[in-house]
Each structure stands twice: as structure tokens, then as C-alpha cells.
Amino acid sequence: MIGTCANLHDSTFPVDAYNASPRISTHKERFSRCSHAYILTSCSAKEMIRLIDANKMRFHILDWLQTYLGNISLTLQPFWLDPPLAYQGSQCKDLDGITTFGRSMP
């Protein structure tokens, strides 16, 4: 998970630290964290497709689907990256004064 919402983070990550070092941590017990960006290995993607095909479930929300698949899989392992590399648009601040920041693409 390289993005987040709801200010979820690893409990050991110092969110108040100005210069905290980035951290990758595993979270099998809490697979998703309301993420907005993901990176999958080809092996993980194949396992997710296999599980979806074998379980014939119907989810419309990716976070819920990933959490469900992570709970039933013996092989899928999520990693959280803190601080996030991607944010939901409503959580962003334009600190660099980028002229296109905040505009929607047609």
C-alpha cells in the first residue's frame, strides 16, 4: 500500500516527526488501510485473480476485496509504506505552487 486515507499508518511510525525515515512494514492482520495506490508483484496479481475466480464474490470496493482476499490467502502479504507516496486529492496541499495542481483533467 503506497497510498492512504483516514490517517492510517504503522503504529511504530513516528507520524509527528518532521524528518522520519521511510519505513516498509508487513500487516497481515490488517491487510488494507483504505489505500488509494497499490503496487502488486506479478505473483500477487496472479494469486488475487486465482482467488477471485475460485470464490466468485462480488465486491465493488477494492479495499474490501483486498482485505477479504488477504484474509483467505496463505500467500498474499501486504506491505505498508510510511509515509505514503500517494494521497487522495482532498488530502493534498500544493506546497510547491505547481500551476496544474488541483485541476481536473477532462
Is the pLDDT score of 19 beyond 70?
A: yes
- Whether 104 is in a domain gets the answer no
- Per-residue pLDDT at 88: 64
Tell me which residue of 54, 4, 7 sits closest to 34, measured CA to CA: 4
- Per-residue pLDDT at 95: 59
- Whether 36 is in a domain gets the answer yes
Is the pLDDT score of 74 beyond 90?
A: no
User: How many domains does the chain contain in total?
Assistant: 1
Domain region containing 59 = 3-10+22-89
- Per-residue pLDDT at 46: 93
Give CA–CA dist 13/22, Å, rounded: 9
- Whether 34 is in a domain gets the answer yes
Kindly report, residue by residue over 39-70, the tens digit of the pLDDT: 888 998 999 889 988 987 776 677 788 888 88
Q: Which pLDDT band holds residue 84 (cuts at 50, 70, 90)?
A: confident
DSSP β-ladder status, 3-4 and 86-87: parallel
Q: Would the pTM of this model clear 0.75, i.e. be above it? A: no
- Per-residue pLDDT at 42: 92
- Whether 63 is in a domain gets the answer yes
